[in-house]
Amino acid sequence: MNIPIYYFKVDENDPEDGLTAIAMVDKPAILKQWLAFEEHEKKQPFQFAINEERRIVTSPIMIPDLPIYRKVADKPGVEKEFYVAASKDTIEKLVMKFMREAKTNFIKSTHQQESDKTKGVFLFEMFISDEARGISQPKGFDLPDGTAFASIKVNNDAEWKKVKDGTFNGLSIEIFSEMIPTEIQMTDEQIISVIQSIIN
Per-domain boundaries in the chain:
3-41+49-199
Predicted pLDDT of residue 37 = 47
Given a contact cutoff of 8 angstroms between Cβ atoms, the answer to whether 118 and 108 are in contact is yes
- State the amino acid at position 81 in one-letter form: E
Task: Return d(Cα 30, Cα 121) in angstroms, integer.
Answer: 22
Distances (CA, A) of 45 to 40, 54, 111, 168: 16, 21, 45, 37
The tens digit of pLDDT for each residue in 102-116 reads 877 767 776 445 545
- Does residue 64 sit in helix, strand or coil? coil
Instruction: State pTM to two decimals.
Output: 0.79
pLDDT value at residue 35: 53
Contact 96, 10 (CB under 8 A): no
Q: Which residues in the chain land under pLDDT 50?
A: 36-52, 111-112, 115
